[in-house]
Chains A and B, each alone.
Chain A
């Protein structure tokens, strides 16, 4: 680990993001746009409140997964990754650089979507909004970490995009959004327990119900963090310094 290299990498990735206005616009705008669409679909009924809250965890994870897997794939295919591996940069510096730089982007994204949800779309929570923000960023970080890992299994950007439904789809189906987890067959509930989005949704539902959801939020955010660390560790293993 080399903090200078990590900081230089964060700065470089943020510069790349800044140079790409359209991507920044899509990252920040798309989740909010989708949420607003959902508001009108449900015509502001109570169902929307429940859906919207879970969407604040799902959408950041989805968007960040997609953005990171393509960004990292580019790093692999253009030869910059191989070149980076000949420099003193450690793999952990690169992954942490991506994690932190995209977490900054996720923060901007979450601020906008949480603000719009609360003040414009009237989504109310019993617990404090700051917790919603924390869970949204944790969910986004899981998206970043799994995206970095997924890029190892794709040869082209075309393939990388196809991983999105594969990785995100089951998580949306099983996280308790479409059907309550209690009603699922045991096997599916186990599967649901093994997927990170479930914990983001649990934390958000706790914030929706409880005026002091600290314990639940901390527990579930801790699980999300653990998923992030494991995925980053596996991603580091997926980029050996020396090829065979």
Chain B
């Protein structure tokens, strides 16, 4: 049996160190992500957001410290059916239709085809379900990629910059959908370099140069920095940490 702390914590990092080809990328990261929360992973390009996400989904080795994902080590095969990972680049088969892509990933996760239509509808692509991904716009293609992660009913959904290239209406719809998933118990880790999106999250991990600056709910972040925008809050924090 899992004890209660494991069940309530989806991801726990303790002095996590990650190197890529010998170069240290992440330094001494310590944080927890509670089950059913939306946690934003924010920071400038190149700060290590993607590396952290890749480590959590188990495709990047750990150099030091510990990382617990869904009560187990990140590379535990038992985690794979419970994970959804959407990379920053559109990683679907562009020569297949949206539905064919979703059906493939559903089959890999052991789900039936019924889930496919739900996932395609969830990202608003039902009218385009039988179009090839290469015929879709950039935003539509990235939503097709998201549908392939939703189709497995993941317990932990890791999304690398899912809102890049989306228009405001679609972005709004997507965030509403992510919130609905969290309300149903899915844990979400969502990266973005648009600080305003922090407001959508339950808490925000602010990163810079591979280090964790803060882990706070967005409201507290504004209060603590005495600012009224996420952008300014982030800049204030950077100055504070540099000092």
Q: Does B100 contact A (CB under 8 A)?
A: yes
- Cα separation A244 to B81 with both chains bound (whole Å): 23
Q: B residues within 8 A CB of A19? A: 95-96, 132
Do residues B96 and A5 form an inter-chain contact, with CB atoms below 8 A? no
B75 to chain A, nearest CB (A): 6
Identify the stretch in A39-47, A74-82, A124-132, A150-158 within 8 Å (CB) of chain B at 4 or more residues: A74-82
How far, in angstroms, from A8 to B152 measured CA to CA in the complex?
Answer: 14
0/1 string, A7-31, CB within 8 A of B gives 1: 1110110011001100000000000
Q: How far is the CB of A209 from chain B (nearest CB, A)?
A: 44
Checking B59, B89, B96 against A16 with a beta-carbon cut-off of 8 angstroms, the contacting residue is: B96
Cβ–Cβ contact B96 & A12, under 8 A:
yes
In the complex, B212 has a CB within 8 A of chain A = no
Q: State which of A83-91, A160-168, A171-179, A190-198 sits at the interface with chain B.
A: A83-91
Min Cβ gap A80→B in Å is 5
| Given A4-B107, A8-B107, A12-B100, A86:B80 Cβ within 8 A | yes
In the complex, which of the residues A9, A12, A79 contacts B89, with contact meaning CB atoms closer than 8 Å?
A79
Q: How far is the CB of B135 from chain A (nearest CB, A)?
A: 11
B85 located at the interface, meaning its Cβ lies under 8 Å from any Cβ of chain A in the complex: yes
Interface flags for A116-140 (1: CB within 8 Å of B; 0: not) read 0000000000000000000000000
Once the chains bind, are A82 and B108 in contact (CB under 8 Å)?
no
* Cα distance, A9 to B101, chains bound together (Å): 11
Which DSSP category, helix, strand, loop or mixed, fits chain B's interface?
loop
Contact with B along A222-244 (1 / 0, CB 8 A): 00000000000000000001111
Complex alpha-carbon distance, A12 and B100, angstroms = 8
Q: In the complex, which of the residues A12, A79, A85 contacts B104, with contact meaning CB atoms closer than 8 Å? A: A12
Provide the bound-state CA to CA distance between A84 and B75, in Å: 14
> Which B residues are CB-close (under 8 A) to A8?
104, 107-108
**Given A16-B95, A78-B91, A87-B132 contact (CB < 8 Å):** no
Residues of B within 8 A of A12 (CB): 93, 96, 100, 104
Indicate whether B20 reaches chain A with its CB closer than 8 angstroms: yes
Q: How large is the interface on B (under 10, 10 to 19, 20 to 34, 35 or more residues)?
A: 35 or more
In contact, B152 and A87 (Cβ under 8 angstroms): yes
Whole-angstrom CA separation of A168 from B87 in the bound complex: 36
* A82 to B58 alpha-carbon distance, docked (Å): 10
Main secondary structure of the interface of A (DSSP, over half): helix
Chain A residue nearest to B92 (CB atoms) is A80
| Distance in Å: Cβ of A179 to nearest Cβ of chain B | 42
A15 touches B83 (CB 8 A): no
- The reply to whether A89 and B61 contact each other, CB–CB distance below 8 Å, is no
A83-B91 contact given A19-B132, A88-B80, CB 8 Å threshold: yes
Q: Which residues of B contact A20 (CB under 8 A)?
A: 95
Whether B77 is near chain A, meaning CB under 8 Å from some CB there, is: yes
Q: Is the CB of B20 within 8 A of A241?
A: no
- Report how far A5 CA is from B20 CA in the complex, Å: 30
B:67-81 near A, CB below 8 Å: 75, 77, 80-81
Which residues on the A side are within 8 Å of B132 (C-beta)?
19
Q: Determine the residue in chain A with the shortest Cβ distance to B80.
A: A88
**Interface pair A243/B61, CB less than 8 Å apart:** yes
Contact call A86/B58, Cβ cutoff below 8 A: yes
B178 CB → nearest A CB, Å:
19
Q: How far, in whole Å, are A172 and B77 apart by their CA atoms in the complex? A: 43
Complex contact A87–B108 (CB within 8 A):
yes
* Distance, CA A19 to CA B97, complexed state (A): 10
**Nearest Cβ on chain A to B57's Cβ, whole angstroms:** 5
Binary flags per residue of B187-203, CB closer than 8 Å to A gives 1, else 0? 00000000000000000
A-B contact pairs, 24 of them (CB 8 A): A5-B107, A12-B104, A15-B96, A15-B100, A19-B96, A78-B89, A78-B91, A80-B91, A80-B93, A85-B59, A86-B59, A86-B80, A86-B83, A86-B85, A87-B80, A87-B83, A87-B108, A88-B80, A88-B81, A88-B110, A241-B58, A242-B58, A243-B60, A244-B20
Binding site for A on B (CB under 8 A): 19-22, 54, 57-61, 75, 77, 80-81, 83, 85, 87, 89-96, 100, 104-105, 107-110, 132, 148, 152
Q: Which 6 A-B pairs have the closest CB atoms?
A: A8-B107, A79-B91, A87-B108, A12-B104, A86-B85, A88-B80
| A contact residues vs B (CB 8 Å cutoff) | 4-5, 7-9, 11-12, 15-16, 19-20, 78-80, 82-89, 241-244
User: Beyond the given A12-B93, A241-B58, A243-B54, could you list 9 further A-B residue pairs with CB under 8 A, ordered by the A residue number?
Assistant: A11-B104, A11-B107, A16-B93, A82-B59, A85-B59, A87-B109, A242-B58, A242-B60, A244-B21
